[in-house]
Amino acid sequence: MTSYPPAPEFAAQANADAALYERARADRDGFWAEQANRLHWHKPFTEVLDWTDAPVARWFGDGELNVAYNCLDRHVIDGHGDQVAIHWEGEPGDSRAITYAELLDEVCRAANTFTALGLVPGDRVAIYMPMVPEAIVTMLACARLGLTHSVVFAGFSPTALRQRVDDAEARLIVTTDGQWRRGKPAALKYAVDEALGSDPSSVEHVLVVRRVGLDVPWTEVRDLWWDETVAAASPSHEAQPFPAEHPLFILYTSGTTGKPKGILHTTGGYLTQTAYTHHNVFDHKPGHDIYWCTADIGWVTGHSYIVYGPLANRATQVVYEGTPNSPDEHRHFQIIEKYGVTIYYTAPTLIRTFMKWGRDIPDAHDLSTLRLLGSVGEPINPEAWRWYREVFGANNTPIVDTWWQTETGAIMIAPLPGVTAAKPGAAMGPLPGISAQVVDDDGTPVGSDESGLLVLDQPWPSMLRGIWNDMDRYRETYWQRFASEGWYFAGDGAKLDADGDLWILGRVDDVMNVSGHRISTAEVESALVGHPAVAEAAVVGASDETTGQGIVAFVILTGSAAAADALVSELKAAVSLEISPIARPREIHIVPELPKTRSGKIMRRLLRDVAEGRELGDTSTLVDPTVFEAIATA
Ligand code: WT7
């Protein structure tokens, strides 16, 4: 397979070099200590890793720092207050350039407001906001005060929001009146009211940013306007240090059951690894690069590679509020051109969408400032990789395919630009300081080109410290499978090719990946059976040309399906409403029966064969192999 060695000009100026691997191999702890010293420690650490309480790690455990101080104050103190931190581009075309000094000022006002509301370190704050600057300000204000934020993607339903607010017992929700979506204002505060309803909750205040100018329902005392509180607060605030293991955030993600897992991240190790990877994997040069990560802060990519990593590294970055086709398909390319974006980080699903829209759209723009491209969220198919490099990267830029997870907190497996000769579709190998293996069920390394399970066999600084409220589930989900080896089981399949390069093959559990978003089959099934017409449901992810996987559901009805078409649309809408539009099934098939094993387990593998139009695999363990005749004719 062709590989793409780095261009000599790129290699000559790259932040990373091959010696980094050697250094990390020779002295792992020493290597991570050096990386941690990218940060300002109010109290320097003397210990690096304490793994005695495995699988809960302590990194830099006796050190103290403040995350917001690292992302803001120190840059201003170093004389970079006038550097733009965020080129914010609103969907309707409004824009704001926010300098580090201005961002610090705003974060201090928000911190003073949160303190005035009675919040104290360790309290939880839910953030339910579109991509407006105030969302980032809120995250940093929480970090500054030692409050633990829980960002809930603004596309999630009131039910999903309520579930997360309750689990974390949030005292404050920060939201907006609404959000711009393809040229129209859509309500958002309204969803908060619906989520809170009249049942008592942990929420004492709802702080509302005015973004679209919609009228909103209002509960006196509980509800507050941002522009009447934060804007009026004092801009001076002194950041206090917190221990390195102080909780920074909870981020909910789908597991194999219907209940989302609150992934818990802490401070020192997390900021160390996000800053280290942002510097080396994106080759970021502060004061020179214009960096753009197209994720939403509702996902971990937004946390680590819009907020914490880039700001710790004094990046100047673009933050865009809207969708790539609003007002038309030129939007991303216009933004790249307008700001002279040099580093662009997105998901394969969007690259495939751009391919579908046609290359004359990017070709109509000057993209020559781009010097590095990144990909995340799902395996990138070689065809999309090559197109990305050719059309975005003038056949010259490195592409970094970055494998990681909400749980890993930061990039784990990726080529190092300027060092690695990358292969289209391969994540290549663990970064310096990171260790992974591909093994079979017994933990034995598999042969070359054989598929196996991806495990992380050494702790890493930005690893999750647990599942909020459920440490048993933490041990069970990630550490039980290879308990005797003490390895972290990632849930992904992988292989090593004959050159020893690593390829990620996708999830091996009941988690689907739709447009880079993780959705569990169980979640969608439970939303479907919540409908009175549905007796039973089985959901699978079927490969999809654009979104990676599409959700295909098979349902058994409680009564007869008189108007099947109408019911199918109703069920799709019900799933959107219950979870989020991301979880809306691509297809719903009404079937008389579902294929089950003797122990009553639904055989999703066979349903996937059906959904992808393949010949059926082995049906010998089915109770009743004839169910497929019924499914096929349904
Ligand atoms: C799952 C994690 C990491 C931020 C976005 C998703 C898949 C992620 C890659 C990649 C192949 C990838 C894996 C992983 N995934 N990046 N470069 N190549 N697969 O975070 O929602 O926690 O999902 O996304 O299956 O386990 P997430």
Q: Tens digits of per-residue pLDDT, 230-265?
A: 999 999 999 999 999 999 999 999 887 778 999 999
- CB of 253 within 6 A of ligand 1: the answer is yes
**Given a cut of 70, is residue 554 above it in pLDDT?**
yes
Ligand 1 centroid to 445 CA: how many Å?
22
Question: What is the tens place of the pLDDT at every residue in 293-317?
Answer: 999 999 999 999 999 999 999 999 9
Ligand 1 centroid to 378 CA: how many Å?
5
Per-residue pLDDT, averaged over 5-11, amounts to 97
**Closest to 214 in 3D by CA, of 192, 191, 185:** 185
What integer pLDDT is reported at residue 625 of this predicted model?
65
**Given a cut of 70, is residue 621 above it in pLDDT?**
no
- CB of 281 within 6 A of ligand 1: the answer is no
Per-residue pLDDT, averaged over 480-493, amounts to 97
Distance (Å, whole) CA 427 – CA 383: 15
What integer pLDDT is reported at residue 257 of this predicted model?
77
**Given a cut of 70, is residue 539 above it in pLDDT?**
yes
**Given a cut of 70, is residue 76 above it in pLDDT?**
yes
The model's confidence at residue 634, banded by pLDDT at 50, 70 and 90, is low
Sign of the C-alpha dihedral, residues 290, 293, 297, 302? negative
Nearest CA to ligand 1 atom 2: 405
ipTM for the assembly: 0.99
Ligand 1 centroid to 151 CA: how many Å?
18
The model's confidence at residue 632, banded by pLDDT at 50, 70 and 90, is low
| Contact residues for 245 (Cβ-Cβ < 8 A; gap 6+) | 58, 59, 61, 266, 267, 268, 465
What integer pLDDT is reported at residue 203 of this predicted model?
98
CATH of span 8-491: 3.40.50.12780
- CB of 243 within 6 A of ligand 1: the answer is no
Distance (Å, whole) CA 632 – CA 277: 49
- CB of 402 within 6 A of ligand 1: the answer is yes
**Domain boundaries of the chain, sorted by first residue:** 8-491, 515-632
Mutate to test the pocket of ligand 1, among 378, 413, 460 (most ligand atoms within 8 A of CB): 378
What integer pLDDT is reported at residue 620 of this predicted model?
67
- CB of 504 within 6 A of ligand 1: the answer is yes
The model's confidence at residue 623, banded by pLDDT at 50, 70 and 90, is low
Distance (Å, whole) CA 479 – CA 490: 9
SS3 content of the chain, % helix, strand, coil (to 5): 30, 25, 45
Per-residue pLDDT, averaged over 400-408, amounts to 98
Nearest CA to ligand 1 atom 3: 405
Ligand 1 centroid to 483 CA: how many Å?
23
The model's confidence at residue 562, banded by pLDDT at 50, 70 and 90, is low
Nearest CA to ligand 1 atom 1: 405
**Given a cut of 80, is residue 574 above it in pLDDT?**
yes
- For residues 431 and 412, is the Cβ–Cβ distance under 8 A? yes
Ligand 1 centroid to 516 CA: how many Å?
7
Which ligand 1 atom is the nearest neighbour of the CA of 403?
17
Distance (Å, whole) CA 217 – CA 224: 12
Q: What is the architecture of the domain spanning 515-632?
A: 2-Layer Sandwich (3.30)
pTM of the model: 0.93
Q: For residue 30, how far is the Cα from the chain centroid?
A: 29
Most confident of 211-215, 512-516, 610-614: 211-215
Which ligand 1 atom is the nearest neighbour of the CA of 507?
25
Mutate to test the pocket of ligand 1, among 305, 405, 464 (most ligand atoms within 8 A of CB): 405
- CB of 513 within 6 A of ligand 1: the answer is yes
Mutate to test the pocket of ligand 1, among 403, 454, 510 (most ligand atoms within 8 A of CB): 403
- CB of 518 within 6 A of ligand 1: the answer is yes
Which ligand 1 atom is the nearest neighbour of the CA of 301?
4
* 223, β-bridge pairs: 206
Nearest CA to ligand 1 atom 14: 405
Distance (Å, whole) CA 338 – CA 93: 12
Backbone angles phi, psi at 457, to 5 degrees: -100, 5
DSSP reduced 3-state for 555? strand
Per-residue pLDDT, averaged over 398-404, amounts to 98
Per-residue pLDDT, averaged over 212-218, amounts to 96
The model's confidence at residue 513, banded by pLDDT at 50, 70 and 90, is very high
DSSP reduced 3-state for 15? coil
Backbone angles phi, psi at 452, to 5 degrees: -145, -165
**Given a cut of 90, is residue 565 above it in pLDDT?**
no
Nearest CA to ligand 1 atom 6: 377
Q: Hey, do 8-491 and 515-632 end up sharing a CATH topology, with the first three levels equal?
A: no
Per-residue pLDDT, averaged over 457-478, amounts to 98
Per-residue DSSP letters for 35-102? HHTTS--SB--S--EE-TTTTS-EESTT-EE-HHIIIIIHHIIIIITTSEEEEEE-TTS-EEEEEHHH
Ligand 1 centroid to 491 CA: how many Å?
10
**What angle (nearest 5°) sits at the alpha carbon of residue 228, between those of residues 224 and 234?**
115
Per-residue DSSP letters for 121-190? TT-EEEEE--S-HHHHHHHHHHHHHTPEEEE--TTS-HHHHHHHHHHHT-SEEEEESEEEETTEEEE-HH
For all residues of the chain together, what is the average pLDDT? 95
Per-residue pLDDT, averaged over 500-504, amounts to 97
- For residues 421 and 382, is the Cβ–Cβ distance under 8 A? no
The model's confidence at residue 603, banded by pLDDT at 50, 70 and 90, is confident
